Amino acid sequence: MDTKILIKTIDRLTKSPKGILAIDESTKTCNSRFEKLGVPTTEEKRREYRELLVTAKNIEKYISGYILFDETIRQSTKDGKSFTSILKSKKIEIGIKVDKGTIDFGNIPGDKITEGLDGLSERLDEYKKMGATFAKWRGVFNIGEKTPTEEDMKTNAEVFSKYAKVCQEHDIVPIVEPEELIDGNHSIEQCYEVSAKNLKIVFSALKSAEVFIPGIILKTSMVIAGTDSQKQSTPEEVAEATIKCLKENVPDEIGAIVFLSGGQEDEEATLNLNAMKKLGKLPWPLTFSYGRAIQNPALQSWAKNPADFLTAQKLLVEAAKANNLANKGKYKK
């Protein structure tokens, strides 16, 4: 492990006010979104849409890295240029989702464990040759009356540690993503409680496994009320609860923290980030790593008129720019 390589990669990824664009949807997730918009669920259509995302003019002004899916990292434009070569030419870091999704865990409905450790080292060797400098692994936690259980959190934390260790051995920055799902009727207080406990467990496991903490990125949910909660959270409430939770449970020496949008409305995620950046100096670099919140306007536009790449790409760049402004606390609704 070369710690200098890891730190330099994180510096490039979190160069303020840029953020990371997640386009790492699995085939199943991508097809599901296409179906809702009446787009054919073929590999060629997925390639076409991803070409739109990768080739958007000036996106590099606002985005420092793209997280890709296994299918995407191997794809090329219609005229034969690999997506990875285009990203490199824009000086955009190449990331790769390496987990293989979740399965049920234990006897409590809602608890999940993430798979994908088998063959991880070999896959990272291949991805590194393709230009990948960082990776992502997502754990999923449902907030309910009985979930997530402590056993579920501890088991996922052990998996995060094994994944992070293997990444760092390959000089690839691991993004560790414990996502508390926004679905449900939980209050912001319940979300805080689960998030705090989960972060404590995750970092305890990472330290026990001797993972190099300054060489990882935490990708985390915001502390926010569930979508079905009677009392929805304001940006100011989300900002205060989230920053308090992170300050109390994340080591100051961590490489960086990035947020997932996690099912929030597009502008909601932007406003919440904006409110956080108004709270003053933080002990770690903090930015966004959104998927839907940046892609959504472009996807909707392209689905209606697939021939009009330019309009969709302008919407993508505008959404990225809005989150850059939020990352400086200067976004206005």
Which of these, 75, 59, 48, 9, lies nearest to 256 by C-alpha position? Answer: 9
Across residues 142-157, what is the average pLDDT?
97
Torsions phi, psi for 229 (to 5 deg): -70, 140
Instruction: Tell me how crowded residue 129 is: count the other CB atoms within 10 A of its CB.
Output: 8
Across residues 1-17, what is the average pLDDT?
95
Tokens of 122: 């070999």
Average pLDDT, the chain: 97
d(CA 214, CA 251): 9
Q: Provide the pLDDT confidence category of residue 16 given band limits of 50, 70 and 90.
A: confident
Q: What is the pLDDT of residue 326?
A: 97
Q: What is the pLDDT of residue 219?
A: 98
pLDDT tens for each residue of 179-190:
999 999 999 999
Q: How far is CA 269 from CA 62, 134, 273, in A?
A: 16, 24, 6
Catalytic residues: 177, 219
Contact (CB, 8 A) for 108 and 149: yes
pLDDT tens for each residue of 56-79:
999 999 999 999 999 999 999 999
The percent of residues above 70 in pLDDT, for the chain, comes to: 100
d(CA 219, CA 196): 14
d(CA 85, CA 93): 11
Q: What is the pLDDT of residue 333?
A: 83
pLDDT higher than 90, residue 102? yes
One-letter amino acid of 9:
T
Which of these, 282, 256, 260, lies nearest to 272 by C-alpha position? Answer: 260
Tokens of 83: 């997506």
Q: Provide the pLDDT confidence category of residue 156 given band limits of 50, 70 and 90.
A: very high
Contact (CB, 8 A) for 252 and 284: yes
Q: What is the pLDDT of residue 128?
A: 98
Sign of the dihedral through C-alpha 69, 70, 76, 81: positive
Q: What is the pLDDT of residue 136?
A: 98
Torsions phi, psi for 257 (to 5 deg): -125, 135
Give the residue extent of every domain in the chain. 3-326
Query: What string of H, E and C letters represents the secondary structure of 121-186?
Result: HHHHHHHHHCCEEEEEEEEEECCCCCCCCHHHHHHHHHHHHHHHHHHHHCCCEEEEEEEECCCCCC
- Angle subtended at Cα 97 by Cα 27 and Cα 173, rounded to the nearest 5 degrees: 170
pLDDT higher than 90, residue 244? yes
Homologous superfamily, domain 3-326:
Aldolase class I (3.20.20.70)
Across residues 20-46, what is the average pLDDT?
96
